[in-house]
């Protein structure tokens, strides 16, 4: 097999790609072509939606933007140092592609079909790997894509366009999504080889594609302008994507730091609340009979369960609704509501009236004399509120998470209720 005579990227040695091995040069070439094809297929729908007339030079430019993007995705901080080498490699291979094709032309300058087939066979024999085959496959797909886009309703080559390329937001989002997916797949196939193999072969493929299209147009590389349209986009998108990734990382780090600080403060407040609760319980009149003792035990058990649920980050609204439900089905029978009536009743239909009744009753009570421990406990509870999700924000919680939390909260409260001596003693 003919070897590539090209200025390869660092850590790239195609001699290590044994054709009999699990991952060969032919695999690398084919997978690179399919990666380009998959990207362009997804890009096609963006271009159709934005009604943009296309030419082969622009489509090759998108591949250069994609190369700049995945260079950053694969190598992050090292990406900038690779860009000059990638530019050099593309230009080198585009010239090699054009010069080889010039010796055995397959463009319109050859009128005889049989002669074209002979030239094509000769090209396959004197070029590295399967690069000619992959380039022609990708070239055919690009030309089909070019025709499909330009023949869409509402897209006219006569219509004046304000931009040659699609919106930066759409393009970047697509490239980052596909680049991230491809990165994971490539690393599994590379099996320990440098990520530079991916970037190296994509640069080679782009170079050969530019040379191939230039040959079909029977022009020089300068005349065809593929370098002018594509090469600047590599460095531009490498830097653009790096800045996006850097900004995202900075935001995530700040968010994690803030969450960590909130978690530490919440833990401190919860610890303080537990301590103050114990102090306030100690100030209460000592329990005299068995029922009073059971009430204290029940209150302590409920408080412990609620503290654990809040500490674990469960939504306050879910906890409140679960508590109300269990209170309602326990309280209703005590007030003479039959089981048949209770089964037909929606407990939450009564929730707001009960809340209003509690509020109005509380406001009529005389202002109590509070100890300093109770005042400190109330202050700590108020501070804890800012670390809890507001009940109204539960609507923004994904449904699957809300369902899981509801099940977990209901289970915790149910277990606490069935093991509670006060409730069991009442026979409920």
Do residues 246 and 235 touch, judged by C-beta distance below 8 A?
Answer: no
Predicted pLDDT of residue 81: 93
Predicted pLDDT of residue 168: 85
Residue 171 lies in a domain: yes
| Band of residue 89 on the pLDDT scale cut at 50, 70, 90 | very high
H helices, E strands: number in the chain: 16, 0
| Band of residue 76 on the pLDDT scale cut at 50, 70, 90 | confident
Kindly state the percentage of the chain with pLDDT values over 90. 37
Task: Point out the least confidently predicted range of 47-61, 149-163, 259-273.
Answer: 259-273
> Could you give the 3-state DSSP secondary structure of residue 154?
coil
Q: What confidence tens digit (pLDDT) does each residue in 332-365 have?
A: 787 778 878 878 888 888 888 888 887 888 778 7
Q: Is the pLDDT of residue 312 over 50?
A: yes
Same domain, 63 and 186: yes
Entry pTM = 0.62
| Band of residue 419 on the pLDDT scale cut at 50, 70, 90 | low
Same domain, 235 and 293: no
Same domain, 109 and 228: yes
Q: What is the mean pLDDT of residues 285-298?
A: 59
Same domain, 238 and 295: no
Average pLDDT, the chain: 82
Q: What is the mean pLDDT of residues 222-246?
A: 92
Predicted pLDDT of residue 102: 92
Residue 21 lies in a domain: yes
Residue 2 lies in a domain: no
Predicted pLDDT of residue 293: 61
Residue 268 lies in a domain: no
Residue 259 lies in a domain: no
- The Cα-based distances of 46 to 69, 146, 171, 236, 353 in angstroms read 17, 13, 8, 20, 53
Residue 264 lies in a domain: no
Same domain, 81 and 157: yes
Same domain, 314 and 166: no
Q: Is the pLDDT of residue 39 over 80?
A: yes
375 sits in the region (left: phi over 0; alpha: psi -120 to 50; else beta) called: alpha
Residue 237 lies in a domain: yes
Predicted pLDDT of residue 211: 96
Residue 273 lies in a domain: no
Task: Point out the least confidently predicted range of 12-21, 67-76, 250-259.
Answer: 250-259
- Nearest-angstrom CA–CA distance, 143 and 140: 5
Same domain, 240 and 310: no
Do residues 182 and 71 touch, judged by C-beta distance below 8 A?
Answer: no
Do residues 269 and 396 touch, judged by C-beta distance below 8 A?
Answer: no
Same domain, 299 and 362: yes
Same domain, 239 and 374: no
> What's the structural domain count of the chain?
2
Task: Point out the least confidently predicted range of 57-71, 148-162, 206-220, 263-277.
Answer: 263-277
Give the structural domain span for 327.
284-426
Same domain, 48 and 128: yes
Q: What is the mean pLDDT of residues 411-426?
A: 63
CB under 8 Å to 392, separation ≥6 — which residues?
Answer: 317
Same domain, 408 and 358: yes
């Amino acid at each position: 097999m003919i070897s590539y005579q090209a200025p390869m990227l660092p850590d790239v040695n195609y001699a290590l790609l044994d054709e009999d091995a699990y991952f060969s040069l032919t695999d690398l070439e084919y997978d690179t072509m399919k990666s380009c094809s998959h990207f362009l297929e997804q890009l096609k729908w963006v271009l159709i939606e934005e009604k943009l007339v296309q030419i082969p030079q622009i489509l090759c430019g998108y591949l250069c933007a994609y190369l700049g993007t995945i260079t950053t995705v694969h190598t992050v901080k090292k990406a900038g140092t690779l860009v000059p080498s990638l530019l050099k490699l593309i230009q080198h291979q585009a010239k090699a592609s054009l010069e080889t094709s010039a010796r055995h032309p397959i463009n319109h300058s050859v009128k005889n079909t049989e002669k074209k087939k002979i030239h094509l066979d000769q090209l396959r024999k004197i070029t590295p790997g399967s690069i000619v085959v992959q380039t022609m496959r990708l070239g055919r797909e690009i030309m089909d894509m070019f025709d499909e886009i330009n023949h869409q309703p509402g897209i006219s080559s006569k219509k004046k366009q304000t931009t040659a390329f699609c919106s930066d937001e759409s393009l970047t989002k697509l490239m980052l999504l596909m680049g991230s997916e491809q990165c994971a797949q490539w690393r599994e196939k590379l099996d320990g080889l440098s990520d530079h193999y991916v970037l190296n072969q994509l640069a080679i493929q782009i170079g050969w594609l530019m040379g191939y299209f230039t040959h079909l147009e029977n022009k020089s590389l300068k005349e065809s302008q593929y370098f002018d349209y594509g090469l600047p986009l590599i460095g531009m998108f490498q830097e653009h994507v790096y800045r996006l990734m850097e900004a995202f990382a900075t935001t995530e780090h700040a968010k994690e730091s803030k969450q960590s600080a909130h978690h530490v403060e919440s833990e401190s407040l919860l610890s303080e609340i537990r301590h103050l609760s114990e102090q306030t319980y100690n100030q209460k009149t000592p329990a005299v009979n068995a029922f009073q003792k059971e009430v204290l035990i029940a209150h302590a058990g409920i408080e412990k369960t609620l503290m654990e649920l809040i500490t674990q980050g469960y939504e306050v609204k879910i906890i409140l609704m679960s508590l109300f439900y269990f209170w309602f089905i326990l309280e209703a029978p005590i007030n003479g509501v039959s089981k048949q009536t209770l089964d037909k009743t929606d407990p939450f239909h009564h929730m707001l009236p009960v809340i209003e009744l509690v509020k109005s009753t509380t406001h009529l009570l005389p202002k109590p004399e509070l100890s300093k421990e109770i005042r400190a406990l109330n202050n700590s509870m108020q501070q804890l509120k800012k670390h809890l999700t507001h009940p109204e924000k539960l609507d923004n919680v994904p449904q699957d998470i809300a369902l899981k939390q509801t099940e977990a909260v209901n289970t915790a409260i149910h277990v606490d209720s069935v093991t509670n001596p006060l409730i069991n003693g009442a026979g409920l």
